Amino acid sequence: MSLIEQLMVVSVLGLVLSIPFVTGRSDRDQLQLDASARRLQMGLDRARSFAKREQRACGMALTEEGFRAPDDDLLPGAIPSCTGIGFSLQEPFEHGPIVLTTNLPSVLRFTANGLLLDGGIAVLSHQRLEKARCLVVSLPLGVSRLGSYQDPLPSKSGRLSSSRCLPHVSAS
């Protein structure tokens, strides 16, 4: 076998072996994005449960990293923070390229019976994926729903649209 033939065999082998790696990476990225969306929903559910259980209004901040107790100067009036709720939007070992874009206020407020007083949309995106996941909080009852964001994300000055957050349909 000549040197050129050997190089061709090695090149073809390299291409064939790289296919599962690329596919596996894409699947892992999608799983990471889906998990972050579920953690976003779970953070809201935890705060609702806390307010209901304690029978008092509370507030919590949503940042790029996740949920945390808000700074005292950001809490409106005499609303305390929802204690013990803070957690990351990503697993500690998965600090990947998940990006949060939102028009929700800096502090989310919950009533004593667990209703969310603030509406808006949060979109989670991954730099290696085309589709983004979204969570819409609708008023007046603070009902939230997860979905897939159907448009490219707007620039910093652009507006997010809740009508672009369509229910997520998983492929079976």
| 31-72 residue pLDDT tens | 999 999 999 999 999 999 999 999 999 999 998 888 888 887
Q: Which of 153, 109, 112, 158 shows the shortest CA–CA distance to 130?
A: 153
Does residue 172 sit within a domain?
no
The pLDDT value given to residue 38? 92
Task: Collect all residues with Cβ–Cβ distance below 8 Å to 131 and sequence separation of at least 6.
Answer: 148, 149
Does residue 50 sit within a domain?
yes
> 67 is written with which tokens?
């949920």
Does residue 47 sit within a domain?
yes
Does residue 38 sit within a domain?
yes
**Which domain does 38 fall in, by range?**
3-167
Does residue 12 sit within a domain?
yes
Contact 45, 114 (CB under 8 A): no
User: Measuring CA to CA, how many Å separate 139 from each of 31, 61, 85?
Assistant: 29, 18, 22
Asked if residue 22 has pLDDT above 60, the reply is: no
If you ran DSSP here, which 8-state letter would residue 168 be given?
Answer: P
Q: What is the domain count for the chain?
A: 1
Q: Which amino acid is at 129?
A: L
Asked if residue 172 has pLDDT above 50, the reply is: no
